[in-house]
């Protein structure tokens, strides 16, 4: 159960006020207002109490209809009637030995009439107004943003922030249209074999990314050089390398536009809106300061006069500031002391809640009695007795707290001045000593209070205060905040673990070259069957990736023109060289001049021969080839198919080797492509993708590979992994017959071989969908869970709590939405082995770098998650308000008879601005982070901002009660965080733009600088990148850290150069801010002086303007708004805050010792299950007597529930 039911009234409903409770007033309850009864009623004339003033919604000359005098008066009257009803019941309970027999005026009122009053109150306490017929109705959805500012400047700034963000994202989308055009015009996804046969939907989305940039004809994209020299489109001669610097400049312009928008909104727009609202509306904070670090107790004779002592102290400070003595002595109008209640304000709230529960049980008893149901009446009578015992038990526990306020320790104070200029003088006088801890310790003696340095700051609005948390000490609050943060981190790690369990990304295929007795090379005939001549002058074999450990004198070489048979030392010890010609051995003598001698297959001289252009090398001992050195004629391009053959497999072949099918008896490796006759290093590795195995795989080859892996797994007692040959065979058969994926194909042989593969593929497909749904669901759970956990931090004000919720939720949801899929797909080649991140399966994905396949798989999933999260963010609140809220109100109020419980059940929830800001920040960061590779996300940002603007407006004006007076701080902090998104955007863009396979470009002028930063020379870079491009998994694992430095060096590419400059500038700026943050105790004054000079510069340039101080005094303001807005809180006193009505009532409740002893009957303050109901705030139906609870205590109540449950 929740303390407040989410509820909403449909658009257009307007309910006439029902004078139901007026009968109670006529029966001697009294007609004085709630404000008159509070300690601040005579504050204008009582120096120790003062008035204070705050407005939840101030009067605007331009929008007076929002809160007319009649509207405020009717709200105040209803609040007064409820208060008098509670007071009457409290008085009768105090003097009654049998609470179930108490009679109240509401007992004779029909429940339908009570429901009507509750619905009227729902509209009245929401964002409503009085229409011309004297009926309350909700504000129109087209309410101007300046009028929304009546509910707090934070609300107005939030909607303006959304509106301008949508415009900025639209402008950035228009700027990215040229990039989208060239991406869509390319065909790289179809030209590269590894991405050609992927899912069509994923390929469609990836076609608007850099993964599709450019065109490659034939096998041109099989080499690094071919990728770098590809053209923009099939019918174009323009190289991609000529355009990439332009793309870098366009991306830089996008970053600058977004950055200047952040500056404009923070330095220009927010101060202007705040200034306009400040000039139009006068609030309590305009006259108040908060004083911290006060001495907890004064000398015995002075402590009872603490307020007067503090009043005299600030009068003296004003005299030192040049204020006349007579004016200074009357300048302090109110001093509100924050007393030490030891957290018992929450207990007072609980006792008030129990009183409301008791009233409901009493009505249910009398209803059952009237119906003649004695059994039910007895049940309710027992419940009344139990609740009474709980109330008395709490009273006995709190007896020691019912002392005079003057005797309690002091935790702080709020001081209100008669003029705003007096407040400004005090803040400026204490500004220098409030800048840091050391500065406060050096505070001047005449500013100290009884030799105690003070910390004076601008006060918040009274309605923002959490009084139950004000008496918590500084370090105790810090400890609770630390515990809350640690709990949030644990919850986040749990979510990461769950999401990784549902990961849908396969681990990378092991491409490490395997040992083989013989190696088979065959010319590739895919592109031109006529060009079958294999003509080389050098072929050297190496067993390491650096091409240094050459295999020498350990092989027997065979050509195809002699009709040879296999010869191996192991089989025939007397075996000699089968081919001993100069031409053949020229392949291994290190010759670099093809003119002297070369080796050519029969097709080089006789094109009519049917002999295939191939050669084989049998090694003396099994060796894993890692590198080849091949040289041919300078005008000759060719591609070799490479196979590794085991001797035992070849012995199974009984025919002539010229008829040997290597696809069946050998293991296929990636093709080796040689252009212009020479390749420095060609690395040998197993294929990563099925498309690299171009020819069809036979069922026998798949069975053989499957059997080998199973036998190997049995020996090592490990789980057998599907070999790449089996995976490719199954993919090949599925492409032929899609029914195979559902096990309904007639191809029984393929179904048997591919059973495990198909099961794994279906599991991955399901996990991909489940993973996306889990992320979206987890974000909604985290939204609620973190909001609750943040409330345990005991924040002093609503703004502090909102700031904490905003940051924590932003980090949690941002991680889940924007990083999970990225980290799951990342492959760091064992770098994280042994760490807890490895246990979470981070860094074990399939991609160590961006590529066309990365954009198709990881990138598409990432974009889908971001888009769905955006949709859920703006859709769910409006749907909840329109459907779920109505059901909850109906469900939890069935049979409830108490007018107070019905009113509370139908009260609309507060509009959680902090949660909305956090979710908006998540979407902003996700969009900005990845638009360097996914420009279409700008369009997602536009759609999100538009729909979120209207959805949030609908939720606020139709589904929320009038919000607290949110200040600018939350929006200001959110906007200040937005430039960090640019830094992340630049990092991702440089990573993408530096990849030469996607964005080829020449080196820029910052190469020397980056060589020093990356600690890597250009020559070493060329070597590492070349080895990485062709090596297998084992070599990549060894080179990974060096490869990362090589990729870091690519920030100096021409396409990245403008982005790198901006990145360095922004890192420098945030580095300076970090230094000031870490050394704030020593540099706080310097930072304050620099900030002051910066503000003066802004005002000199007319970017900002000073708000005009009000000429009205606090006394005049109080007299004016008492007529226009009597329902507005005008004091910092606890009794003046409507959120603490139950606590104030409990403080005023006095039970005799005789009543407590009789009620408890020997029980020593043990709380029954009814108190547990009050603590949890759980709502029951009519049969279990709903226990009301209240927003202010909700988080703390739930906290105690957790403790009691444990």
pLDDT one-digit tens code per residue, 966-1020? 888 889 999 999 999 999 999 999 999 999 988 999 999 999 999 999 999 999 9
966, 913 Cβ separation under 8 angstroms:
yes
How far apart, in whole angstroms, are the C-alpha atoms of residue 436 and residue 715? 68
The count of other CB atoms within 10 Å of the CB of residue 770 is 16
- 640: helix, coil or strand? strand
Lowest mean pLDDT among 648-652, 1010-1014, 1140-1144: 648-652
pLDDT at residue 1154, as a whole number = 60
- Phi then psi dihedrals of residue 490, to 5 deg: -65, -40
Residue 48 has pLDDT above 50, yes or no: no
DSSP H helices, 324-456, are: 325-329, 345-370, 374-397, 420-431, 437-441
pLDDT at residue 1048, as a whole number = 92
Token pair in block for residue 112: 């339908």
Report in angstroms the alpha-carbon separations of 1065 from 402, 1035, 1061: 60, 37, 6
Please provide the DSSP assignment of 649-714 as one string.
HHTT--S-GGG--HHHHEEE---EEE-TTEEEEEE----SSGGGS-SPPPHHHHHHHHHHHHHHHH
Q: How far is CA 117 from the centre of its chain?
A: 41
- 292: helix, coil or strand? strand
pLDDT at residue 318, as a whole number = 93
Q: How far is CA 239 from the centre of its chain?
A: 40
pLDDT in tens, 65-91: 344 445 556 666 777 777 777 778 877
How far apart, in whole angstroms, are the C-alpha atoms of residue 788 and residue 630? 67
pLDDT at residue 290, as a whole number = 92
pLDDT at residue 734, as a whole number = 76
Report in angstroms the alpha-carbon separations of 772 from 503, 816, 864: 9, 10, 8
Residue 255 has pLDDT above 90, yes or no: yes
pLDDT at residue 812, as a whole number = 78
Place of tokens 């070493």: 1020
Task: Provide the pairing of β-strand 410-417 with 678-683.
Answer: unpaired
DSSP H helices, 240-282, are: 240-264, 270-280
Place of tokens 């809220």: 885
Residue 1165 has pLDDT above 70, yes or no: no
pLDDT over 90, % of the chain: 18
Higher pLDDT, 152 or 930: 930
pLDDT in tens, 12-24: 333 333 333 333 3
How far apart, in whole angstroms, are the C-alpha atoms of residue 505 and residue 58? 55
How far apart, in whole angstroms, are the C-alpha atoms of residue 345 and residue 1146? 9
pLDDT at residue 506, as a whole number = 55
98, 362 Cβ separation under 8 angstroms:
no
Lowest mean pLDDT among 362-371, 766-775, 998-1007: 766-775
- 681 pLDDT band, cuts 50/70/90, is low
- 458: helix, coil or strand? strand
How far apart, in whole angstroms, are the C-alpha atoms of residue 857 and residue 23? 70
1162, 396 Cβ separation under 8 angstroms:
no
pLDDT average, residue stretch 25-29: 34
pLDDT average, residue stretch 498-504: 61
pLDDT at residue 1044, as a whole number = 92
pLDDT at residue 172, as a whole number = 96
Which residues, in sequence order, are bridge partners of residue 631?
538, 678
pLDDT average, residue stretch 512-535: 68
Q: How far apart are the first and last CA of the chain?
A: 19
Token pair in block for residue 698: 């036979």
pLDDT in tens, 864-891: 888 888 888 888 888 888 888 888 888 8
pLDDT average, residue stretch 778-801: 75
682, 630 Cβ separation under 8 angstroms:
yes
Higher pLDDT, 1155 or 363: 363
Rg (CA), the chain: 39
Residue 832 has pLDDT above 60, yes or no: yes
Token pair in block for residue 872: 């859920």
How far apart, in whole angstroms, are the C-alpha atoms of residue 726 and residue 703? 8
Report in angstroms the alpha-carbon separations of 980 from 944, 975, 1070: 20, 10, 9
Residue 1045 has pLDDT above 90, yes or no: yes
pLDDT at residue 603, as a whole number = 59
* Average pLDDT, rounded, for the chain: 74
Q: What is the dihedral of CA 190, 191, 193, 199, to 10 degrees?
A: -10
Lowest mean pLDDT among 213-217, 588-592, 680-684, 1102-1106: 588-592
Residue 1168 has pLDDT above 50, yes or no: no
- 394 pLDDT band, cuts 50/70/90, is confident
Which residues, in sequence order, are bridge partners of residue 777?
none
pLDDT in tens, 333-354: 999 998 887 767 777 777 778 8
Residue 1196 has pLDDT above 50, yes or no: no
pLDDT in tens, 209-241: 998 888 876 656 666 777 888 888 888 888 899
Q: How far is CA 811 from the centre of its chain?
A: 5
1143, 1134 Cβ separation under 8 angstroms:
yes
pLDDT over 70, % of the chain: 70
Give the DSSP H/E element, type plus range, for residue 79.
helix 69-94
Residue 1146 has pLDDT above 90, yes or no: no
- Which has the closest alpha carbon to 671: 695, 640, 625? 640
- 136: helix, coil or strand? strand
- 955 pLDDT band, cuts 50/70/90, is very high
pLDDT in tens, 594-641: 555 556 665 566 656 555 567 777 777 788 888 887 776 655 666 778
- Phi then psi dihedrals of residue 1129, to 5 deg: -70, 130
pLDDT at residue 975, as a whole number = 94
Task: Provide the pairing of β-strand 599-600 with 535-542.
Answer: antiparallel
How far apart, in whole angstroms, are the C-alpha atoms of residue 104 and residue 88? 8
- 41 pLDDT band, cuts 50/70/90, is very low
pLDDT at residue 261, as a whole number = 96
pLDDT average, residue stretch 1173-1200: 35
- pTM more than 0.85: no
- 912 pLDDT band, cuts 50/70/90, is confident
């Amino acid at each position: 159960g929740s303390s407040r039911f989410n509820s909403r009234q449909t658009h257009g409903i307007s309910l006439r006020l029902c004078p139901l409770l007026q009968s109670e007033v006529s029966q001697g309850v009294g007609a004085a207002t709630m404000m008159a009864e509070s300690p601040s009623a005579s504050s204008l004339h009582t120096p120790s109490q003062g008035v204070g003033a705050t407005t939840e919604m101030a009067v605007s000359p331009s929008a007076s209809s929002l809160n007319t005098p009649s509207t405020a008066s009717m709200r105040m009257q209803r609040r007064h009637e409820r208060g008098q009803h509670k007071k009457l019941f409290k008085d009768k309970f105090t003097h009654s030995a049998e609470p179930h027999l108490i009679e109240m005026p509401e007992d004779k009122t029909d429940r339908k009439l009570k429901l009507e009053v509750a619905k009227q109150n729902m509209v009245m306490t929401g964002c409503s107004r009085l229409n011309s017929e004297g009926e309350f109705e909700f504000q129109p959805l087209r309410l101007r943003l300046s009028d929304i500012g009546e509910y707090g400047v934070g609300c107005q700034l939030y909607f303006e922030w959304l509106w301008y963000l949508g415009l900025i994202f639209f402008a950035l989308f228009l700027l990215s249209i040229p990039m989208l055009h060239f991406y869509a015009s390319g065909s790289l996804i179809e030209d590269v074999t590894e991405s050609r046969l992927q899912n069509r939907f994923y390929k469609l989305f990836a076609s608007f990314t850099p993964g599709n940039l450019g065109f490659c004809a034939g096998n041109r994209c099989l080499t690094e050089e071919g990728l770098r020299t590809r053209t923009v489109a099939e019918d174009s001669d323009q190289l991609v390398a000529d355009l990439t610097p332009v793309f870098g400049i366009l991306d830089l312009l996008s970053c600058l536009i977004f950055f200047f928008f952040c500056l404009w909104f923070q330095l220009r727009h927010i101060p202007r809106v705040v200034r306009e609202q400040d000039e139009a509306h006068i609030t309590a904070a305009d006259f108040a300061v908060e004083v911290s670090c006060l001495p907890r107790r004064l000398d015995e004779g002075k402590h009872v006069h603490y307020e007067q002592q503090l009043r005299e102290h600030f009068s003296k400070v004003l005299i030192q500031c040049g204020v006349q003595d007579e004016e200074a002595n009357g300048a302090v109008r109110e001093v509100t002391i924050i007393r030490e209640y030891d957290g018992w304000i929450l207990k007072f709230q609980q006792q008030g809640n129990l009183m409301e529960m008791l009233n409901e049980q009493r009505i249910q008893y009398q209803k059952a009695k009237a119906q003649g149901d004695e059994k039910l009446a007895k049940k309710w009578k027992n419940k009344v007795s139990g609740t009474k015992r709980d109330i008395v038990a709490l009273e006995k526990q709190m007896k020691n707290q019912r002392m005079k306020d003057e005797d309690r320790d002091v935790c702080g104070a709020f001081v209100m001045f008669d003029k705003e200029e007096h407040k400004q003088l005090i803040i400026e006088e204490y500004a220098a000593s409030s800048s840091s801890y050391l500065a406060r310790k050096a505070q001047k003696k005449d500013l100290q209070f009884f030799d105690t340095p003070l910390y004076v700051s601008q006060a918040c609005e009274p309605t923002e205060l959490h009084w139950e948390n004000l008496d918590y000490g500084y370090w105790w609050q810090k400890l609770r905040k630390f515990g809350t943060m640690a709990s949030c981190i644990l919850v986040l790690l749990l979510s990461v673990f769950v999401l990784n369990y549902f990961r849908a990304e396969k681990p990378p295929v092991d491409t490490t070259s395997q040992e083989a007795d013989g190696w088979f090379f065959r010319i590739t005939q895919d592109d031109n069957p006529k060009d079958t001549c294999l003509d080389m002058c050098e072929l050297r074999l190496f067993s390491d990736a650096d091409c240094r450990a050459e295999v020498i004198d350990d092989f027997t070489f065979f050509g195809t023109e002699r009709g040879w048979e296999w010869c191996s030392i192991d089989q025939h010890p007397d075996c000699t060289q089968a081919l001993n010609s100069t031409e053949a051995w020229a392949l291994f003598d290190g010759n670099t001049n093809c003119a002297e001698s070369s080796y050519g297959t029969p097709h080089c001289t006789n094109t009519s021969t049917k002999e295939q252009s191939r050669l084989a090398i049998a090694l003396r001992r099994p060796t894993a080839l890692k590198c080849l050195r091949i040289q041919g004629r300078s005008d000759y391009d060719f591609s070799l198919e490479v196979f590794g053959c085991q001797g035992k497999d070849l012995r199974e072949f009984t025919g002539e080797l010229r008829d040997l099918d290597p696809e069946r008896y050998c293991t296929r490796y990636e093709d080796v492509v040689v252009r212009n006759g020479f390749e420095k290093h060609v690395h040998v590795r197993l294929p990563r993708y099925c498309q690299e195995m171009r020819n069809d795989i036979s069922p026998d080859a798949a069975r053989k590979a499957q059997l080998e892996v199973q036998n190997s797994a049995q020996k090592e007692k490990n789980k057998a992994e599907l070999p790449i040959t089996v995976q490719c065979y199954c993919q090949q058969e599925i492409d032929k017959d899609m029914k195979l994926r559902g096990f309904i194909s007639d191809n029984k042989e393929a179904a048997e071989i591919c059973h495990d593969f198909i099961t794994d593929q279906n599991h991955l497909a399901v996990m991909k969908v489940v993973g996306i749904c889990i992320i979206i669901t987890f974000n909604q759970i985290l939204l609620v869970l973190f909001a609750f956990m943040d409330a345990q931090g005991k924040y002093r004000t609503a703004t502090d709590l909102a700031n904490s919720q905003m940051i924590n939720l932003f980090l949690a949801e941002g991680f889940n939405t924007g990083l999970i899929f990225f980290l799951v797909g990342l492959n760091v080649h064992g770098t994280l082995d042994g760490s807890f991140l490895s246990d979470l399966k981070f860094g074990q994905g399939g991609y160590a770098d961006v590529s066309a396949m990365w954009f198709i798989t990881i990138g598409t999933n990432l974009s889908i998650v971001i888009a769905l999260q955006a949709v859920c963010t703006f859709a769910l609140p409006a749907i909840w308000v329109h459907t779920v809220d109505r059901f909850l109100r109906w469900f939890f109020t069935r049979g409830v008879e108490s007018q107070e419980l019905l009113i509370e059940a139908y009260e609309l929830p507060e509009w959680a601005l902090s949660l909305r800001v956090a979710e908006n920040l998540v979407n902003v960061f996700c969009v900005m982070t990845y638009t360097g590779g996914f420009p279409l996300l700008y369009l997602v940002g536009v759609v999100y901002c538009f729909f979120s603007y209207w959805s949030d407006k609908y939720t606020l004006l139709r589904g929320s009660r009038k919000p607290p007076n949110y200040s600018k701080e939350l929006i200001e902090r959110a906007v200040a965080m937005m430039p960090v998104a640019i830094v992340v955007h630049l990092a991702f863009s440089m990573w993408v733009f530096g990849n030469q396979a996607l964005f080829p470009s020449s080196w820029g002028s910052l190469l020397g600088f980056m060589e020093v930063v990356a600690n890597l020379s250009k020559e070493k870079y060329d070597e590492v990148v070349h080895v990485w491009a062709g090596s297998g998994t084992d070599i990549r694992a060894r080179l990974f850290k060096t490869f990362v430095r090589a990729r870091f060096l690519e920030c100096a590419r021409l396409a990245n150069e403008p982005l790198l400059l901006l990145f360095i500038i922004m890192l420098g700026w945030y580095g300076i801010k970090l230094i000031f943050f870490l050394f704030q105790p020593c540099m706080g004054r310097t930072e304050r002086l620099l900030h002051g000079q910066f503000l003066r510069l802004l005002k000199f340039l007319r970017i900002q303007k000073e708000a005009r101080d009000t000429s009205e005094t606090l006394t005049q303001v109080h007299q004016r708004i008492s007529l226009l807005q009597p329902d507005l809180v005008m004091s910092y006193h606890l009794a003046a805050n409507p959120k603490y009505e139950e606590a104030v009532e409990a403080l005023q409740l006095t039970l005799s010792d005789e009543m407590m002893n009789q009620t408890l009957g020997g029980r020593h303050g043990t709380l029954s299950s009814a108190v547990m109901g009050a603590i949890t705030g759980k709502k029951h139906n009519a049969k279990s007597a709903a226990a009301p609870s209240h927003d202010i205590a909700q988080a703390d109540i739930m906290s105690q529930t957790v403790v009691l449950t444990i």
